[in-house]
Amino acid sequence: MASRFTLVLDPVDQWSVWDNETGEPTFFGDMLLAGMSKVEAEAACEILNRIYDNRMREAERLRKRRSDGS
């Protein structure tokens, strides 16, 4: 499965975290994750993908639990 969040290099050589699901740059709270160094963007992207993956695994676990009648 492809990652939800990826890095995008803008025309002035700064990095943004892109949300592949919405097709837009990502916000974390009220902060737009754009105009960042590559190191900052990579760290933010990794954290967001981990959060997203954990939520998806938990949602799947709960769906299976409900379908098993537990």
User: How do beta strands 27-28 and 31-32 pair?
Assistant: antiparallel
What's the confidence (pLDDT) of residue 70? 57
| pLDDT digits (tens), the chain, 70 positions | 689 999 999 999 999 999 999 999 999 999 999 999 999 999 999 999 999 999 999 999 999 988 887 5
Structural tokens at position 56: 């998806």
pTM metric for this prediction: 0.85
Tell me the HSE value of 40 on the side-chain side, using a 13 A CA sphere.
10
Domain ranges of the chain: 5-67
What's the confidence (pLDDT) of residue 46? 97
- Taking the C-alpha atoms of 46, 51, 53 and 57 in order, what is their torsion angle to the nearest 10 degrees? 160
